[in-house]
Amino acid sequence: MPTLPPGDRPDSPADTHKARQMAESFGVDAARYDRTRPRYPDAMVQRIMAASPGRSVLDVGCGTGIAARQFQAAGCTVLGVEPDSRMADFAGRRGLEVEVGTFENWKPAGRTFDAVVAGQTWHWVDPVAGAAQAARALRPGGRLAVFWNADEPPAELTDALATVYRRLMPGFPATGMPSPVDAYSSMCDKAAEGIDTAGGFTAPERWTFDADCHYTCAEYLDMMPTQGLFTRLPAPVLAEILAEVGAAIDELGGGFTLRRRTVVVTATRA
């Protein structure tokens, strides 16, 4: 799935952090977002913490606290930073301490952490300013780890989705559907470049974790409105899209299995 709909794409892939309306649109239905968005591999969480000097974590763009709760379950103390007050409020009611604001403008106030993490959010952060801010927030030997879930549906569903989107979303690319893995690989490139430019880190590493994930039709349709492609669509348009996507999934037998690749860019504070 593309990350940004055509009308919201910035001039350069490096400028997604400037699309503030999109970046701060996910709180429109925070409960649905928290219920339906995929979690991250436990193996990833364990690897990040094994490579960190301790268990204090700063979660950038924590949203409803999906990643934060996984790190808490691994024995970490987590502080979240989140620009959308609706998402921050939801996370706070689930037991996460959250400070509201963009990461670039957040004040460490002398605090340091063993790890700075960002799940599905670092493309909303200026890649150089964000890396520099992370360096300030990390103690020496601390780890920056930014990661995304890239979902690759089966080809027949991808083709059906593209047909629906072209018809109902003016401006959608006339040919092809961008590969999610390729899109997130580009985000990894920008994250690594930002870390290198900001300085203060070892050379960025890339980790990947692969899994097959099954969705029923109802599960997938429940999750779709939380994606950036749909958060600001008029309700009648979204309803029509969901109806047609549901029909396409029904033709596949009422469910499907997609390939999920979790991609990580990580570096150590020198």
Find the mean pLDDT for residues 176-191.
86
pLDDT at res. 9: 42
Report if residue 220 sits inside a domain: no
Distance CA 122, CA 106 (A): 15
The distance in angstroms from the start CA to the end CA of the chain is: 36
In sequence order, which residues have a C-beta less than 8 Å from that of residue 200 and are 6 or more positions away?
A: 131, 132, 135, 269, 270
Distance CA 80, CA 82 (A): 6
Q: Which residue range forms the structural domain that includes residue 65? A: 14-153+176-211+261-269
Report if residue 168 sits inside a domain: no
Q: Regarding predicted confidence, which is higher, 88 or 170?
A: 88
Report if residue 228 sits inside a domain: no
Side-by-side strand order, sheet with 138-152: 97-100, 77-82, 56-60, 113-119, 138-152, 255-268, 205-216
Report if residue 98 sits inside a domain: yes
Find the mean pLDDT for residues 136-144.
98
Report if residue 127 sits inside a domain: yes
pLDDT at res. 24: 65
- Report percent pLDDT > 90 for the chain: 82
Element (H, E) at 108: none
Distance CA 255, CA 260 (A): 16
* DSSP per residue, 9-51: --SSGGGGGG-HHHHT-GGGGHHHHHHHS----HHHHHHHHHT
Report if residue 25 sits inside a domain: yes
- Give this prediction's pTM: 0.90
Report if residue 232 sits inside a domain: no
Distance CA 22, CA 7 (A): 10
**What is the domain-level CATH number for residue 180?**
3.40.50.150
Each residue's pLDDT tens digit, 47-104 = 999 999 999 999 999 999 999 999 999 999 999 999 999 999 999 999 999 999 999 9
Q: Could you tell me the pLDDT band of residue 175, with boundaries at 50, 70 and 90?
A: low
CA distances from 221 to 18, 136, 217, 226, 249 (A): 29, 41, 6, 10, 10
Question: For the chain, what is the mean pLDDT?
Answer: 91
Report if residue 87 sits inside a domain: yes
Closest residue by Cα to residue 56 from 80, 84, 91, 82: 80
Q: Work out how many domains the chain is built from and give that number.
A: 1
Q: Which residue has the tokens 């924590």?
A: 62
pLDDT at res. 16: 56
* Two structure tokens written together for 159: 């083709």
pLDDT at res. 176: 63
